[in-house]
Amino acid sequence: MNRKYVGEKLERARREGRLMLTEAESKAVLAAYGIPVVEEAVAASEDDAVARAKGMGFPVVLKGHGARLAHKTERGLVKLNLRSVTEVRRAYRRIKTAAGGDWEGCLVQPQVEGRREFVAGMFRDPQFGPTVMFGLGGVFAEALADAAFCIAPLSDVQADDLLDDIRGAKLLGDFRGEKAADRTELRRVLKGLSQLSLDRPEIAEVDINPLIVAPDGRVKAVDALVVLSENGVSAADGPGEGVPEAEALAIRRDLDAAFNAKSVAVVGAAPPREKGFMGMYACVRDFGYAGRLYPVNPNLDEIDGVKAYPDLVSLPEPVDLVVVSVPAPHVPDVLRDCVAAGCKTVHIFTAGFRETGEPEGIRLQEEMEKIAREGGLRVIGPNCMGVFAPRTQLVTWPAALKGAGSLAFVSQSGGNAQEFTKYAASRYGIHFSKAVSYGNALTLDGADFLDYLSRDDETEIVGMYIEGVKDGRRFLKMVGETNRRKPVIIFKGGLSETGARAVSSHTGALAGGAKIWRAFFRQTGAVPVDSIEEMADVALAFHCLKEIRGNRTCVLGYGGGSVVSVADNCAKAGLTLPAFSPALFGEVRKLVPPVGAMIRNPIDAAVAFQDVDVMGNILRLLAASDEIDNIIVFVPIDWLMNEGDGGGRHIEKVARFLAGQGRKLAGGKPVVGVWRQFVPDPENRKWVPVLEEILLSAGIPVYKGVPRAVNALAKAAAYYAFQERRGS
Amino acid sequence: MNRKYVGEKLERARREGRLMLTEAESKAVLAAYGIPVVEEAVAASEDDAVARAKGMGFPVVLKGHGARLAHKTERGLVKLNLRSVTEVRRAYRRIKTAAGGDWEGCLVQPQVEGRREFVAGMFRDPQFGPTVMFGLGGVFAEALADAAFCIAPLSDVQADDLLDDIRGAKLLGDFRGEKAADRTELRRVLKGLSQLSLDRPEIAEVDINPLIVAPDGRVKAVDALVVLSENGVSAADGPGEGVPEAEALAIRRDLDAAFNAKSVAVVGAAPPREKGFMGMYACVRDFGYAGRLYPVNPNLDEIDGVKAYPDLVSLPEPVDLVVVSVPAPHVPDVLRDCVAAGCKTVHIFTAGFRETGEPEGIRLQEEMEKIAREGGLRVIGPNCMGVFAPRTQLVTWPAALKGAGSLAFVSQSGGNAQEFTKYAASRYGIHFSKAVSYGNALTLDGADFLDYLSRDDETEIVGMYIEGVKDGRRFLKMVGETNRRKPVIIFKGGLSETGARAVSSHTGALAGGAKIWRAFFRQTGAVPVDSIEEMADVALAFHCLKEIRGNRTCVLGYGGGSVVSVADNCAKAGLTLPAFSPALFGEVRKLVPPVGAMIRNPIDAAVAFQDVDVMGNILRLLAASDEIDNIIVFVPIDWLMNEGDGGGRHIEKVARFLAGQGRKLAGGKPVVGVWRQFVPDPENRKWVPVLEEILLSAGIPVYKGVPRAVNALAKAAAYYAFQERRGS
């Protein structure tokens, strides 16, 4: 069947009131999309079945054929492994009897040999739309739940990644004397499903079960089912509508105006509160916003000597950003004022809308949505903390830190926006280009901010905290595109079932299953993290290490037990800690005597920390070696207190050496610092910030403890490996 | 066959020069141990085979039978699913031809129906000895590597745990219209293998493949192979010899004398060094050891005014503990002196022995082993930091902290011994009963210290850092027994492949595979941790929470995004965060208004932190509810800075409330505190230790960040669940 007739076939089934295609129809549709299906014929009579079987060669399979036949195995309508004419005749008669009034004929197929059974399919995820599935089949499939997903469309690389993502992927290689599965055919299956899902939005689901890999590696869809969606074309049917380019351009322009606002109005402005949250007006004012700041409050004439306006329409100018902090029931009126006053971009701090799950909150949010859409407003929020643009000296949350940098942060949660910006800056000295908390995403969603930031010259790394997304396909596309240019690090809240429950309460967003998000990360190459601390760790690695060429790592430390666990930490994070070649081992052995030291990688050598020349010589060896990509130096603060000049000054010496000559000797290979410090003596503790300061100033990322360091390094390395693999 | 004839059967095979039993012999051995095997008969002629097949009923299986027949499938000696006399005759002839000169007859079996295939077996782990295996079988077994282990002997509970530990355990339940596998029969298989391994040390391996579960749930071993060990009874063959009770008693007595030493000699004593490590003599002296301390050094007359002795024999008394800190080549002589002077217990600080991997180091260690064995010495070390007994004011490492408590720590690594004791005490105020670092374990191994500590009244919790163990079976037994009385927390270094490499270099110990250690933890109920920080976290939970009745947890927090991730953290750690019933939800709703709050568990409610009465009322509800076992209170330090009386005093108020009335209102349910603090303001930071101090003093464990808290709580809960299940 030619691909162009597929639509007619689907249309006919629907006209006949059938949402499920027959097995024969289903396979014809798949075959039209290049998917290898088992040879088959519909036999209209017993003799015909025998003739067909002889033509195909025994053994064969007979199955009932008919538009009303489902659950064929359970109804006794499938007879496998028929080896003779007698068996075919008997099977034909039995199936006919079992089918009763639903009988329309009999399907004859050769018995496909092959012990390796898989399943493949397509369904429409409510968040990400058409999604291709591949998994282990056969009797164990259900019990093992070994399946992986990929959001359509699929590239060849993505198809390969999907195949390799199941736990049983080994079965696709050479297997007990059987040939490796034909990758080209497998890719055709997955890409065929992908293309079909995009071409035919009226298809809700496709199920190929089993997809058998024969001993010669050839692949065959042996049974298949195509299911149409009940309501014709559904919401999550095809590529997202996305946002027209003109609209996207306008959003970027309006966001740029807001982040660089020359004028800001705070509606619901009030004198700073002494207790609890100080209020939006005080936040903006006290951070030192240098533009024109207008308090709006119909009940006040002035706030701390600044004239207050009764409403937005009374302002002397339309402002670049309106901040709304009035009780929820008044927010729709304020939005109407925004439209009337010609203010485009609005941050709504107020909460009490869809996230409450209560009818009144939901109704209010719907009303606001309508006003915003009709008035062309760009709404940040509601139920969020708004914006932080340090270069504009603009912030809508309390106690933000001064200082601007190149990390951007987009957060659905206001708490995380505040805490991450403070944490990253104070812990690691990583400052921000822009940050935004957008809560319920009335009009502007994560993808809109990402679209803006991907083109923002001030931004080199993007961090995101998201709970759900409104247009999954657009988000997927935007993250994938942005990630080519700058690393995108994503903390997805609500991956677990209970997490998802918390999310829906928190922002009324749709949280997807963990497996589909796994596909999302695998496809976009975005870096997944689980906490804001981990996001800061990974951001630091990107910030300091401009490129990472592999994950073969050498750890240079001092202190047996702690160094032993380094190897376990690396294995867990996915870094390899290769054993040195005899040649390299020999070179290191010349520098490090055997007693109390080990040098098989990890290197555990007091002498390297007692004498920086030894450390330098080791670094030189590692730099010259083609066995190692990255170097971790694990500094035991307490153990060095009494070395060298004593009193901890030796720690500073080691730090300065690493920051200067040591780094040079490493010859451009990433160097990562780690410290541990356990003795509760303030004299010891004070050297931690000294070490950190020296290393960070020199662009050497430094972490507390090995697990955090190797995790950050491994994730950054995976990013660069993804880019190289994708060929961008 | 009766069990008592098994030995004769094995003996005969060995006499005939056969290490592999035939399939029929193998199954006869297994049947003698109660393992359900498929019915079978050896047919001597074609007619006999037909008669047997008719007797069993078609379909049947024919297999070649003979002492020299291995790899039967590959040699074409197995014919499945024979449905008629004709097929049986044809199969018989073909097998006979294929077998050629190895032919001894033909095995006839009924074809066992069943899609659920497993494997089971027994082998001897070099570290833990006889070990039972259970895993997924069939075509996928190899690719999925879904197998779990249990060190023999197995109890019923352990057999069940082993079955449930495979990923495909779902297949053992009701499955696609087939009945759940017969648990009694499965247990008989596993326990039969276990008993066989203990009774017959000459068996190296048993392999049952496949073990089929029929549609009615019955279990049958369809093929089996018993392999004898090449050298008769091997080293890792049966229950470890262990240590005779009299010897164990003597070790306990000598260790007790050392930990409570009234006299200590330091051999190789020298004036304190200014740089690097101060030296052993100064460590002991400066910590304020109150007993009689003798410096021994033939080259000195006195150290800082204290008379030095030339050797141990010259001392006025045999000491309770000798500390050896002389160059490696001199250590054997010092040990000879110990024997001569009647000193029993020796700590050897010196390194440079087996851990170097160099011939001279290995030779020296062997020499020392001989001296120690012959002289009955108890040696701690070599290559270790020795002992810490705060109540005796005795320590052999620098900068130990004063203060005694009920946590004991046994560590193969000296670094970890020093760092953990300092960390746990200073971070959480958990002090120690005893600690020991024992390095290369010349005579005393982890099990010996555990044996002592399990009976030590000062010790309530035991932590261990181990890399390898010398007698795995004794260690298993000792951990299992101790763990009944007091929690044993174990940090195993070298679980990963590279980790294992580092271990063998570090202490010359044998590091086992991760899967066997998984069995170890599952069987003993010991609590596995991955770092000394995690060990302190878990120890704190045990220290504060005397019992935990379940893992249904409620989190009470404040701050959307961070609370959303709480649910993900709990899911990861294995705590459940049950949704409130409508009744409980309604009660909580009365206390917490909907705007900006969510109360579905986690509870995200500013009001609960602003007003401690509200917090108290929520705690009261949770205490009364049978839906919740544990309560986590997640305190946002920064967010509370400006509440109540301001300036952070509200944080102290919340802490004092929790420590006092709040805890009472929780009605005995475990309460765990967590804080987060991100604003880099010293004014905010200073409230963290205030909060921690108040909670810890009241016996409320408190952690930085939710992941550490839920991990510690989940692991402690698992310990109590294990004890309850075991019925101790």
Distance CA B539, CA A132 (A): 46
Distance CA B372, CA B69 (A): 51
Cα Rg of chain A, angstroms:
32
What spatial distance separates the first Cα and last Cα of chain A, rounded to whole Å?
38
- The number of CA neighbours under 13 Å toward the Cβ of B172 is 24
**For residue range A375-411, what is the model confidence (pLDDT) as tens digits?**
999 999 999 999 999 999 999 999 899 999 999 999 9
- In this prediction, residue B358 carries a pLDDT of 84
B235 confidence band (pLDDT: 50, 70, 90): very low
Question: Where on the phi/psi map is residue A725: left (φ > 0), alpha (ψ -120 to 50), or beta?
Answer: alpha
B335 confidence band (pLDDT: 50, 70, 90): very high
A239, pLDDT greater than 50: no
Which range among A327-336, A715-724, B95-104, B325-334 shows the weakest confidence by mean pLDDT? B95-104
The burial of A23, by beta-carbon neighbours within 10 Å (0-12 exposed, 13-18 middle, 19 or more buried), is given as buried
How large is the average pLDDT for residues A230-259? Answer: 79
The burial of A429, by beta-carbon neighbours within 10 Å (0-12 exposed, 13-18 middle, 19 or more buried), is given as middle
Q: Name the residue among A133, A131, A147, A151 with its Cα closest to residue A476.
A: A151
Q: What percent of chain A has pLDDT over 90?
A: 79
A511 confidence band (pLDDT: 50, 70, 90): very low
**For residue range A95-109, what is the model confidence (pLDDT) as tens digits?**
999 998 888 999 999
- In this prediction, residue A556 carries a pLDDT of 96
Q: Report CB contact under 8 Å: B276, A643.
A: yes
Which range among A255-259, B175-179, B387-391, B484-488 shows the weakest confidence by mean pLDDT? B175-179
Could you give the C-alpha distances from A377 to A51, A284, A317, A434, A449, in angstroms and in order?
A: 71, 21, 17, 21, 15
Min Cα distance A570 → chain B (Å) is: 9
A117, pLDDT greater than 70: yes
Output DSSP code: residue A552: B
The answer to whether the CB of B434 falls within 8 A of the CB of B457 is no
DSSP bridge pairs for A345: A378
B700, pLDDT greater than 80: yes
Q: Which residues contact B587 (CB under 8 A, 6 or more apart)?
A: B621
Say if A355 is an interface residue toward chain B (CB within 8 Å): yes
Amino acid at A34: G
- In this prediction, residue B276 carries a pLDDT of 79
B86, pLDDT greater than 90: yes
- In this prediction, residue B238 carries a pLDDT of 46
- In this prediction, residue A485 carries a pLDDT of 93
**Residue that the structure tokens 């780094």 belong to:** A663
The per-residue b/e assignment along B77-94, b for 16 or more CB within 10 angstroms, e otherwise, is bbbeebeeeebbbebbee
Q: Name the residue among B128, B148, B234, B241 with its Cα closest to residue B468.
A: B128
The sign of the dihedral angle between the CA atoms of A81, A83, A87, A93 is positive
> Which residues of chain A lie closer than 8 angstroms to B679, CB-CB?
399, 422, 426
Mean pLDDT over each residue of chain A, to the nearest integer: 92
- In this prediction, residue B468 carries a pLDDT of 85
pLDDT, greater one: A2 or B430: B430
Strands (E), B83-141: 105-110, 116-125, 129-136
B234, pLDDT greater than 90: no
Distance CA B336, CA B375 (A): 8
The answer to whether the CB of A120 falls within 8 A of the CB of A193 is yes
Q: What percent of chain B has pLDDT over 70?
A: 96
A584, pLDDT greater than 90: yes
Of B275, B559, B644, the CB nearest to A415: B559
The answer to whether the CB of B630 falls within 8 A of the CB of B551 is yes
Of B276, B494, B596, the CB nearest to A564: B494
DSSP string, A293-355: EEEE-TT-SEETTEEPBSSGGGSSS--SEEEE-S-GGGHHHHHHHHHHHT--EEEE----SGG
The answer to whether the CB of A433 falls within 8 A of the CB of A455 is no
Q: Scanning every residue of chain A, which has its alpha carbon at the shortest distance from the alpha carbon of B491?
A: A565
B359, pLDDT greater than 80: yes
- For A109, other C-beta atoms within 10 Å of its C-beta total 23
Distance CA A107, CA A488 (A): 51
Widest Cα–Cα separation across chain A: 102
Q: Scanning every residue of chain B, which has its alpha carbon at the shortest distance from the alpha carbon of A574?
A: B496
The burial of A589, by beta-carbon neighbours within 10 Å (0-12 exposed, 13-18 middle, 19 or more buried), is given as middle
A503, pLDDT greater than 70: no
Say if A638 is an interface residue toward chain B (CB within 8 Å): yes
- In this prediction, residue B506 carries a pLDDT of 53
What's the whole-model pTM score?
Answer: 0.91
B505, pLDDT greater than 60: no
Min Cα distance B113 → chain A (Å) is: 14
ipTM over 0.95 threshold:
no
Min Cα distance A598 → chain B (Å) is: 6
E strand or H helix at A53, and its extent?
helix A46-56
Q: Name the residue among A566, A599, A544 with its Cα closest to residue A716.
A: A544
Widest Cα–Cα separation across chain B: 102
> Which residues of chain B lie closer than 8 angstroms to A494, CB-CB?
564, 567-568
Distance CA B411, CA B386 (A): 9
Q: What percent of chain A has pLDDT over 70?
A: 96
The answer to whether the CB of A118 falls within 8 A of the CB of A135 is yes
- In this prediction, residue B2 carries a pLDDT of 82
**For residue range A74-91, what is the model confidence (pLDDT) as tens digits?**
788 999 999 999 999 999
Size of chain A, expressed as the number of residues it contains: 728
How large is the average pLDDT for residues B240-267? Answer: 92
Min Cα distance A32 → chain B (Å) is: 32
**For residue range B194-213, what is the model confidence (pLDDT) as tens digits?**
999 999 999 999 999 999 99
Distance CA B537, CA B344 (A): 36
DSSP bridge pairs for B552: B576
Prior bond of B59 cis (ω within 30°): yes
Q: Name the residue among B42, B114, B55 with its Cα closest to residue B85.
A: B55
B728 confidence band (pLDDT: 50, 70, 90): very low
Helix ranges (H only) for B658-686 are 663-665, 682-685
pLDDT, greater one: B565 or A709: A709
Min Cα distance A580 → chain B (Å) is: 12
> Which residues of chain A lie closer than 8 angstroms to B594, CB-CB?
352, 356-358, 361
Distance CA A80, CA A62 (A): 7
Say if B115 is an interface residue toward chain A (CB within 8 Å): yes
How large is the average pLDDT for residues B452-469? Answer: 96
A728 confidence band (pLDDT: 50, 70, 90): very low
Q: Scanning every residue of chain B, which has its alpha carbon at the shortest distance from the alpha carbon of A166?
A: B144
The CA angle A693-A695-A700, to the nearest 5 degrees, is: 135
In this structure, what token pair is assigned to residue B195? Answer: 């008993």
- In this prediction, residue B241 carries a pLDDT of 56
**Residue that the structure tokens 């800690």 belong to:** A577
